[in-house]
Structure 1
Amino acid sequence: MSSPSPDAAPAPAPGADSPAAGAPARSRPLIPLPPFWAQILAGLVLGVLLGWIARHWQVDWLGRTLEEVGGTFVQLLRLAVGPLVFFAIVISITSLRNVSNAARLAGRTLLWFLATSLIAVVIGLAIGLITDPGQGTGLSPADGETPETKGSWIDFLTGIVPTDVITPFTDLEVLQIVFMAAVAGIAALRLGEKAAPLITFGESALTLLQKALWWVIRLAPLGSVGLIGRAINEYGWDLIGDYATFTADVYVGCLLVLFGVYPLLLRFAAGLNPLQFFRGAWPALQLAFVSRSSVGTLPVTQKVTERLGVPREYASFAMPFGATTKMDGCAAVYPALAAIFVAQIFGIGLDLRDYLLIAFVSVVGSAATAGLTGATVMTTLTLSTLGLPLEGVGLLLAIDPILDMMRTATNVAGQSVCAILVAAREKILDREAYAHATSFEISGADQEEEAGALARPEKVPAAA
């Protein structure tokens, strides 16, 4: 199919998506695929149906297939996490050399991360105190077991520094990877031109990793079949009844943050239309819901944030930073509710001091979640700080996959919102781009070409 001549159609508007110069024209598929969101929805519905069939009729081979499909999808995401985080952090730090007032932007970003996390944890505590999620569940302390993965402040602080450079990647110790990347990035900044070959290599490696990750992202509809199907097959619908109040609390809390707190901040702190944010950020939100990984969603999150007017050089710093530290769902709403839930199951009363400790842990310790699926480490960190039994985490693991979907979508939205707020208040946000940002089709175009965005320098104007 030949491309139309230049006279046959007007030139694309500035800033609009267009093929790279000299790129071959894309051929349309013989059978058009439905929109990506429709593929995701179909995958969820099919997964529920197949999971129910496998459990109701005890179809072992189907159950194993669902487990393998879901596990393979998660494993593919995890395979890219280590090197992706390392090179993303290194390049994001070195890219700050092109950003005016870089230290100011970094400080403002961190402040917004902390402020929105505090708001989220307060919402979680309020919902938990109103609804008493642990009362009347029929669960008892005997139903829980101590998790294999634990978190404590000593583990958190001492575990940041790796013992070697290989183990963090093989064991996927994301905090240690972030530490090494930060050291390498800062050293590269100090070396200046001498580090140029290393920076060029890092940009190329990041481009390659993101391109490969785009291919994995396109498997998300298939992965959703396995992930939700496995959950239904293993736990069934009775699980929902035992955890009904707690599940509803987590979803309501995340929805209040997602559709209440963030829109209010966008409107009154930045003077922006909240509906336009959700229109532009939709591809990242739907992928986060299915993949349950902030790091796995990182290429899409950065793309939508840039399309919403955040300068590329600042977004390339804020998004990797947020994907490993900014977790309003997993590290704020959820641990607050989890602590109240576990305390009520074990018959332990909490007082004002405990609630303040929950807020402190949620705001300061959110990096413990490290952008991976699940929030077990953050939950154990919260429970151990309060002196609550860690067996309570075992009570929560069964329902975790269903909760993690909403938590991760909230995480990713918060990461993008904070970058937009900082850019708007520092007067570097392209408000015209924000006003006209639209969703894009993840599976229909060669979005992996956008993976090279970090390698294209772009000077960010000085903050006012």
Structure 2
Amino acid sequence: MPEPADSGPKGSRRIPKVPFWAQIVAGLVLGVVLGWITRSYDVRWLHTTLDQVGHIFVQLLKLAVAPLVFFAILVSITNLRKVNNAARLASRTLLWFMITSLVAVGIGLLIGLLTNPGAGTGLTPKDGKKPEHAGSWLDFLTGIVPTDVITPFTELNVLQIVFMAAVAGIAALKLGERAKPILTLSESVLELLQKALWWVIRLAPIGTVGLIGYAIADYGWDLIGKYATFTADIYIGCALVLFGVYPLVLALAAKVNPVQFFRGAWPAIQLAFVSRSSVGTMPVTQRVTERLGVPKEYASFAVPFGATTKMDGCAAIYPALAAIFIAQIFGVSLSIGDYLLIAFVSVVGSAATAGLTGATVMLTLTLSTLGLPLEGVGLLMAIDPILDMVRTATNVAGQALVPVVVAAREKILDHRAYDTATSSPVDAYEDQGEHGERGGHGGHGGHGTGGGRTADGPLPATA
């Protein structure tokens, strides 16, 4: 294939474009190095700089989270009117969310029982402390409905934002043509937010340096030693779900090539690992899901729904292992009934993770249901950022997986698009306004219409 004409001076060569994934990897490596230097030589100014760089990146992402969730859910519900058998698709999506969550929590429990992560850590009950925010079933149920329309946005209560968006979306469906101006405005605002998030995500490599560097500088490797087994369990559990369970589901239930799924979904999984927020990653998750052949109208419902409720890492593997870990530290024996309760909480209560950063609410919900001391949460807070990366990557992979499985089983998956989807950073992240066109399923071909949506970060919305 001939090289494009060089527009520069004669004899000059264009500087090759560095792939986005390579920029992220470089940011990870540089962050680790700077974090190690900061901790080893106590470079205070560098410690502060890393903290500020990471903090600014996260704050930029946070700016768009509340309106992004609201308009994404509203638009996704109204888009279901364009899909045949919408109720069937929604119920099948929820069913597969539950099935994969049950398998994930089962893997978490099995690993915990085999490895005893709380044994030999040197940690004692006095090392723990109660969290500032605790989840309970009463709080979960009563907390869904907001007391006003402003507070959920100012306090970033994603669960309440989802509730209001769902009500608005259903009301718009009932109004029919009279709601068309509002829907047109909502779609435009959503496009605007996604465009702005694309600009923020272009800064992800720099944000990665700050986030990873500060984590290494602040926590160091010595802390991981006390939690070595628990940390390994989380990573192994997530890896088993990511590269064991999901490929089996794709091969057996959807009858598609699992390797091709990871090729197409990798940009979203990669960003989720770095920035630690399912909601922040939601636009790029939706984009890669569409590129994998899922109809746009269905993907625009399933992905936002999953970004606020589908948490195999945070709401299944993590609370299962954490409950066993904390029970062992506090000397509490868990029964078969307790393990069944953990599975129940993981499947039914996963939407609670939409309220705060990481899996704190989900963990306190699990502990309170089992009657375990909430002080155990304090034992895990120091190590949480390191665990949150792989948890969020698992969450996002599951959020892309289920729409593919449901679309394949309902025979609406574009197999040509799926088989030719690429993990090219240019294809996945390119500015849609410049290199693509808006539209539906027709843009799902092997080379697609370009298009990037993006982003994620340790936001209060999920981990």
Normalising by structure 2, report the TM-score.
Answer: 0.90
Contact map agreement 1:134 1:340 (CA 8 A) in 2: yes
Tell whether 2:252 aligns with 1:268: yes
- Give the drift of 1:360: 0.4
Tell whether 2:419 aligns with 1:435: yes
Match of 2:196 in 1: 212
Contact map agreement 1:134 1:344 (CA 8 A) in 2: yes
CA-to-partner distance for each residue in 1:56-85, whole Å, 9 max, x for gaps? 221111111111111111111111110000
* Mapped partners of 2:190, 2:435: distance in 1: 8
Tell whether 2:135 aligns with 1:151: yes
Change (3 A) 1:344 1:445: closer
Contact map agreement 1:254 1:406 (CA 8 A) in 2: yes
Tell whether 2:389 aligns with 1:411: no
* Mapped partners of 1:169, 1:228: distance in 2: 28
Q: Give the counterpart letter for 1:388 in structure 2.
A: L
Tell whether 2:289 aligns with 1:308: no
Contact map agreement 2:295 2:440 (CA 8 A) in 1: no
- Give the drift of 1:447: 2.6
Match of 1:15 in 2: none
Change (3 A) 1:445 1:167: closer
Q: Of the candidates 299, 302, 307, which is equivalent to residue 323 of structure 1?
A: 307
- Give the drift of 1:443: 9.4
Q: Give the counterpart letter for 2:195 in structure 1.
A: K
Tell whether 2:119 aligns with 1:135: yes
Change (3 A) 1:155 1:30: farther
Match of 1:10 in 2: none
List aligned pairs for 1:294-443, cutoff 5 A. Answer: 294-370=278-354, 373-441=357-425
- Give the drift of 1:171: 0.2
Q: Give the counterpart letter for 1:353 in structure 2.
A: G
Contact map agreement 2:315 2:346 (CA 8 A) in 1: yes
- Give the drift of 1:250: 0.2
List aligned pairs for 1:5-404, cutoff 5 A. Answer: 31-370=15-354, 373-404=357-388
Contact map agreement 2:287 2:428 (CA 8 A) in 1: no
Contact map agreement 2:159 2:355 (CA 8 A) in 1: no
Change (3 A) 1:452 1:83: farther
Contact map agreement 2:157 2:356 (CA 8 A) in 1: no
Change (3 A) 1:228 1:458: closer
Q: Give the counterpart letter for 2:102 in structure 1.
A: L
Match of 1:25 in 2: none
* Matched position secondary structure for 2:118: coil
* Matched position secondary structure for 2:278: coil
- Give the drift of 1:39: 1.2
Contact map agreement 1:210 1:299 (CA 8 A) in 2: yes
CA-to-partner distance for each residue in 1:248-298, whole Å, 9 max, x for gaps? 000000000000000001001111010000111111111111010111111
* Mapped partners of 1:241, 1:302: distance in 2: 37
Change (3 A) 1:65 1:380: same
What is the alpha-carbon root mean square deviation over aligned residues? 2.2
* Matched position secondary structure for 2:280: coil
- Give the drift of 1:30: 5.3
Change (3 A) 1:444 1:254: closer
Contact map agreement 2:234 2:317 (CA 8 A) in 1: yes
Match of 2:457 in 1: none
* Mapped partners of 2:247, 2:398: distance in 1: 11
- Give the drift of 1:372: 6.2
- Give the drift of 1:32: 3.1
Change (3 A) 1:415 1:445: closer
Contact map agreement 1:294 1:371 (CA 8 A) in 2: no
CA-to-partner distance for each residue in 1:193-252, whole Å, 9 max, x for gaps? 000000000000000000001111111111111111111111111111101000000000
* Matched position secondary structure for 1:34: coil
Q: Give the counterpart letter for 1:282 in structure 2.
A: W
CA-to-partner distance for each residue in 1:306-360, whole Å, 9 max, x for gaps? 1111011000000000000000001000000000001111111111111011000
* Matched position secondary structure for 1:309: coil
- Give the drift of 1:4: 8.6
* Matched position secondary structure for 1:104: helix
- Give the drift of 1:44: 1.1
Contact map agreement 2:78 2:169 (CA 8 A) in 1: yes
